[in-house]
Amino acid sequence: MHPPELRDRAIAMHADGVPFRLIWRTLGLPPRTVGNWLYGERARKRRERQPDDRCPRCADPRRPPDAPAAYAYLLGQYLGDGHIVRARRTVLLAVSCDNRYPGIIAEVDAAMRSCGARSVHHRAKIGCTAVSALWNHWPCLFPQHGPGHKHERPIELADWQEPIVGEHAEPFVRGLIHSDGCRFDNRVTVRGRTYSYPRYMFTNESAHIMDLCRRSLDRLGVEWRMSRRNTLSVAKRASVLRLDGFVGAKS
Ligand SMILES: [Zn+2]
């Protein structure tokens, strides 16, 4: 038997449009094996199998996500800089991560696995790494999925997501700031002495996503203000310290 990672890689390459011949050659497998994975009877059944017990929304009975804190983090990352693409036979969830922060790449990877991904792929691009996983049930977990840019359509939490974001506001905000925000030092020099005022910023074009961020910060007692239409800033010392407790500088 071949390890499931090989099968997932074959399916991922297929979804990327890699020619069949190149897939089995790259993986060093007999074409028959790869053919079965991609087109065989089991592949068809696998796609149609419902419910998929790994998916908390399709499981019978339905249940909340198995790892709610990881889910809240991944939701923040998805709303910030993630996207869901329907390929011919499967669905891809991808989050774009800055190469300067290997810790964030590892955290996104771990969150995808905790939420149900069997294997996670890292694809290096210029300056960033796309962390992605194939699973037909990503749209169940992220019903915010839809055509077009997130800031051009309404982004609302589903009823079942509300309590998760409410109870796990910290990892949710951490995911948002890791994707679309930062912590930076505002340095001011007065009479030869330099003072450092750390701040947090969160930027997003979607008024709805910005509102979700504000609501979570309110819940956590973090004071914020809008420094621009699409930019939120946290500058009060106590609030910065509060964020330092569960966000901190990106790494
Ligand atoms: Zn599902």
What is the rounded end-to-end Cα distance, in angstroms, of the chain? 39
Q: Is residue 72 over pLDDT 70? A: yes
Q: Cβ-count burial of 114 within 10 angstroms (0-12 exposed, 13-18 middle, 19+ buried)?
A: middle
pLDDT digits (tens, 9 = 90+) for 81-119: 899 988 777 899 999 999 999 999 999 999 999 999 999
Percent of the chain with pLDDT over 70: 96
pLDDT (0 to 100) of residue 142: 96
**Mean pLDDT across the chain:** 91
CA of residue 51 to ligand 1 center, whole Å: 7
CA-based nearest residue to 112, from 97, 137, 129, 93: 93
Whether pLDDT at 38 is above 70: yes
- Tens digits of per-residue pLDDT, 143-200? 998 877 888 888 999 999 999 999 999 999 999 999 999 999 888 888 899 988 999 9
Torsion angle defined by CA atoms of residues 37, 43, 47 and 49, in that order, rounded to the nearest 10 degrees:
-130
User: If you measure from the C-alpha of residue 239 to the centroid of ligand 1, how many angstroms do you get, rounded to a whole number?
Assistant: 38
More confident residue, 88 or 23: 23
Of all residues in the chain, what percent carry a pLDDT higher than 90?
67
Q: Say how many Å lie between the CA of residue 50 and the centre of ligand 1.
A: 8
Helix-then-strand count for the chain, H and E: 11, 8
- CA of 66 relative to ligand 1 center, distance in Å: 13
Q: What is the pLDDT of residue 47?
A: 60
What pLDDT, on the 0 to 100 scale, is given for residue 88?
73
CA of 92 to the centre of ligand 1 (A): 14
115 Cα to the center of ligand 1, angstroms: 11
Q: Which residues contact 45 (CB under 8 A, 6 or more apart)?
A: none
**For residue 62, how far is its CA from the centre of ligand 1 (angstroms)?**
10
